[in-house]
Copies of this chain bind each other. A is one copy, B any other.
Amino acid sequence: MGASAALKSRPSAEPDGAEAMLRVALSLFLEQGYHGASMRDIAQRAGVSVSAAYHYFPSKADMLRTIMVRVTEDLIADLEAARDGAGPDPAARLAAIVRAHVLLHTRRQDESFIGNSELRSLSLVDRRKVVALRDRVGQVFKDVVAEGCRRRVFSQPYAAETVRAILTMCTAVAGWYRANGPDRPETIAERYAELALRLVGAGRGEEGHTR
């Protein structure tokens, strides 16, 4: 706070009150659901009064929308970067986006879980926006798998079901991953990449596990 006195005109990325409130709101939405968590709970756990919370966010709904939009936009950015950084090979691309998806869903597990489970708590207009973002996530996977099928490096007859299976399998990671569990995020990401390749019928031979 003291050091950044000159920067107060631009409230960009700093661990300020709003960010702290978002973190608290996130953990409460996670524990009790959006409707189950009250503004009084959030304010109390953040160590401020109820009305102080309304200085940072105009409403409770705005907190949820902020959380969901942000994590979904970051997911899209991660996926596109992973895909473009993996070269043109569809198998490498699929492995890369699965890794990126799993990594984000472990490293930012709580946001990801809320992003997947509280769609119904959004207002109609917010829901449309988040659904559109989620569609873009699915499209990245669809395109990669479709390209692999076209080039015949993937062999499976039901592309739509398979994409859905991969996507839901990767998404569910946010539901069961535990940071103090036996596996590191990178390990899980690597294994899920292999599982995804099995699902699309690629890599029947041994995949070189560069690690």
Whether A109 sits at the interface, judged by CB under 8 Å, is no
| A65 → chain B closest CB, angstroms | 16
**A33 and B199: CB pair below 8 A?**
no
How far does the alpha carbon of A162 sit from the alpha carbon of B121 in the complex, in Å?
Answer: 32
Summarize A's interface: helix, strand, loop or mixed. Answer: helix
In the complex, what residues of B have CB within 8 A of residue A188's CB?
161
Whether A12 sits at the interface, judged by CB under 8 Å, is no
How far does the alpha carbon of A174 sit from the alpha carbon of B175 in the complex, in Å?
Answer: 16
Within 8 A of B (CB), among A162-211: 162, 164-165, 168-169, 171-172, 175-176, 183, 188, 191-192, 195, 198-199, 201, 204
Which residues of A pack against B, CB within 8 Å?
31-36, 117, 120-121, 156, 158, 161-162, 164-165, 168-169, 171-172, 175-176, 183, 188, 191-192, 195, 198-199, 201, 204
